[in-house]
Structure 1
Amino acid sequence: MKPIKLTNGQIEEICKLAQDQRRILGFMNEAPIANDLFTILENLNIHLLQYPISSVSDRPAFSAVLLYLCEEGKELVFVGVNTADYFDKQIFAIAHELYHYFTKTGTHLSRLDMEDDEYNLIESKANRFAAEFLLPESQLREIIQAEFRDASLKLISIKTIQRFIARLQCTWWLPYRSLVRRLHEIDAITESQYEELYELSERDLQSEYGKIGLAINAETFRKLNRRTEEVGTSPQGIEYIIRNFEDHLISEDTFAETLQLFNRTPSDFGYEIIVEDEDLDDPMYFPRQEDMDEG
């Protein structure tokens, strides 16, 4: 099976969608979204769920999931992100899920790595949208032109390109390999440059690229290359859980057990509920790896 290559028409459509949504959300091309992505979810009334689901292999069990629920005629939208993955890939995965949200492609589970996504048209489009949404092509071209006085990096040394990518990464918060892909997609680097850059050990902070990133912006670079393992949800998500309990849609035990997933207790919200320790320790109340693999 050959990797899917998006047509010029498909790319133009994706770029327009990303540009339109950035403008609607108040971001001009020169403005990085970066950490504001979490505020965007809140403004879109999308509930964020964060939970680490580790994998037996080096690759995460899944990247992110988009879920729709309907309660009393009202649609509720959730994005779940696997915090066992690197933080910059979490950012990319959320942007990926926004493509499915904006295009109304329905409930979606992203469990493939970008290499595998090359063989799926919708996933290829979602990945291209995520890259374009986080760093518009027009802005990337302007940055290259302003810095190198040329539209191409084909005569630039690999070390110089690495420093350039590291600065892009610390500003725009895309994963290293996504940035390498972006440069290749816009024909700014040659095939051989792409292959050499793509094979670098970008996660090893003691590697050549790792040292460059740390020298440019140690705090941001470490954050982007860390598996956060964070457990939590948006304030709206917690409120949804509480109201389900107050409306008697879930029991006291389920209320306490669900909050426990996000390191919260009923007493944090003024409710005194006692749940036996053995119940909280029961694995049936927590996501299991085999359950995720069946999703």
Structure 2
Amino acid sequence: MANYIGDTSLSEQEINMLQIMAEEKRGQFNIGTAPLGETIFKLVRQTGIQLIYVPIEVEEDRSNTFSGMYASFKQDGEKVFYIGINTYEYLDKQIFTLAHELYHHWEDTEMCVCRNLEEPNGLGEQKANRFAAEFLLPTNKLKDEIILRTAGKSHLKEFDHLDLLRFIARLHCDYRLPYKAIVRRLQEIKAITEAQFTELIQEPSRDEQSAYFKIGKNIDPHVFKKLNTRTMEDGAEGDIPYEFIYCFKREIVSRTELADDLSLFGKELVDYDLEEEVSDQDLAELEGLFGGGMEDETK
């Protein structure tokens, strides 16, 4: 699923369960149907989760993506929880990432690294995306917004492209979801046609010269600019690299997975005296390549 956040391949039962879960979690925090936005940072801390901020530059082709991660560990008989987010991403995407990782927390996931929210890998990631969308902009609230803007209609199929951009920009500023997340939400509830969706999803929403960007700046200049800003925060409320090593020593993750995870924080195995080891299988394969002529230098 390219270009976003949400997944129409989920079953109706799975979607209903995620909607119920999002509604229940909002109820637990007395949020109701009000916009959540940046308040989610405070909510994460109230949940007892430590936040980690890491600015990792994302290439234009998104070949090196890292959106966020969730990890839980047992220390001294008690569980500790971490969420890491890439602060090189725009603020609205950070908000979505936090909602996504909260799903993993509430589903008792032990560790999950999300490299690209726009192309979720596996059912768990697809569910986390849909939960995040429901948690930040509940379906019932979205339908209410449509009825309010259309004088009673349940869809936007008669809106032209610019009218749709204005409607989305207001939701963007009020609910703080990324542009494409809102477009997908409208598609998910069948509020727009396939032709409208195709045109909307191709809109260069981050381009300052685009129609959408100009509309957003006019609706709420301060909020719109903030949502389209890379915050670049760098810091951690815990030492997550050592938690990765703890998982490696418990054989929860492999050496290769540990190396990949450490690289997200600019670290290598050698920094922790954990250089790559050559397995017996690798040695046997090498010996086969050289016709059994290898000598063990340790003897």
TM over 0.5: yes
Offset from partner CA, 1:147-196 (integer Å, 9 cap, x none): 20200101111111100000000000000000000000000000010010
- Equivalent position of 1:203 in the other structure: 206
Secondary structure of the 1:178 match is: helix
Q: Which of 62, 65, 71 in structure 2 is aligned with 1:61?
A: 65
Structure 2 partner of 1:105: 109
Q: Distance in 2 between matches of 1:77 and 1:145?
A: 40
- Matches of 2:195 and 2:138, distance apart in 1: 24
- 2:48 aligns with 45
Question: Is the Cα contact below 8 Å between 1:53 and 1:289 reproduced in 2?
Answer: no
Q: Which runs of 5+ in 2 are unaligned?
A: 243-261, 270-299
Amino acid corresponding to residue 72 of structure 1 in structure 2:
D
| Counterpart residue identity of residue 221, structure 2 | A
How far does residue 74 in structure 1 lie from its aligned partner after superposition? Answer: 1.1
Range 103-112 or range 76-85, more displaced: 103-112
Q: Report the CA distance shift for 1:165/1:290 in structure 2 as closer, same or farther (over 3 A).
A: farther
Could you tell me whether the CA contact under 8 Å between 2:72 and 2:109 is conserved in 1?
A: no
Structure whose alpha-carbon radius of gyration is higher: 2
TM-score, L = length of structure 2: 0.76
1:138 corresponds to 2:140: yes
Aligned to 1:288: 266
Question: How far apart in 1 are the matches of 2:75 and 2:224?
Answer: 41
- Matched residue, 2:227: 224
Q: Which residue of 2 aligns with 1:212?
A: 215
Cα deviation for residue 55 of structure 1 reads 3.4
289 and 177 in structure 1: CA distance in 2 versus 1, 3 angstrom threshold: farther
Q: Determine helix, strand or coil for the equivalent of 2:191.
A: coil
- CA–CA distance in 2 between the matches of 1:286 and 1:197? 33
Q: Give the counterpart of 1:15 among 19, 32, 35.
A: 19
Aligned pair in 2 of structure 1 residues 138, 200: CA closer, same or farther (>3 Å)?
same
Partner of 1:128: 130
Contact preservation (8 Å) 1:51, 1:230: yes
Quick check: 2:90–2:230 contact (8 Å CA) kept in 1? yes
| Of 153, 156, 167, the match for 2:156 | 153
The TM-score, its normalising length taken from structure 1, stands at 0.77
Alignment RMSD (CA, Å): 2.4
Aligned to 2:252: none
Residue segments in structure 1 that go unaligned for 5+ positions in a row: 245-283
Instruction: Indicate which of 194, 197, 212 corresponds to 1:191.
Output: 194
CA deviation after TM superposition for structure 1 residue 69, in Å = 2.2
For the residue of structure 2 that corresponds to 1:34, the secondary structure is coil
Residue type of the partner of 1:55? V
The answer to whether structure 1 residue 89 and structure 2 residue 88 are counterparts is no
Whole-Å separation in 2 of the counterparts to 1:27 and 1:105 = 24
- What one-letter code is carried by the residue in structure 2 that aligns with 1:87? L
Identity, in percent, stands at 38
Closer, same or farther in 2 for the Cα pair 1:221/1:4, shift >3 Å? closer
Which residue of structure 2 aligns with residue 273 of structure 1?
none
- In the other structure, the counterpart of 1:75 is 79
How many residues align? The count is: 242
Structure 1 or 2: more helix by fraction: 1
Query: Partners of 2:264 and 2:155 in 1: how far apart?
Result: 50
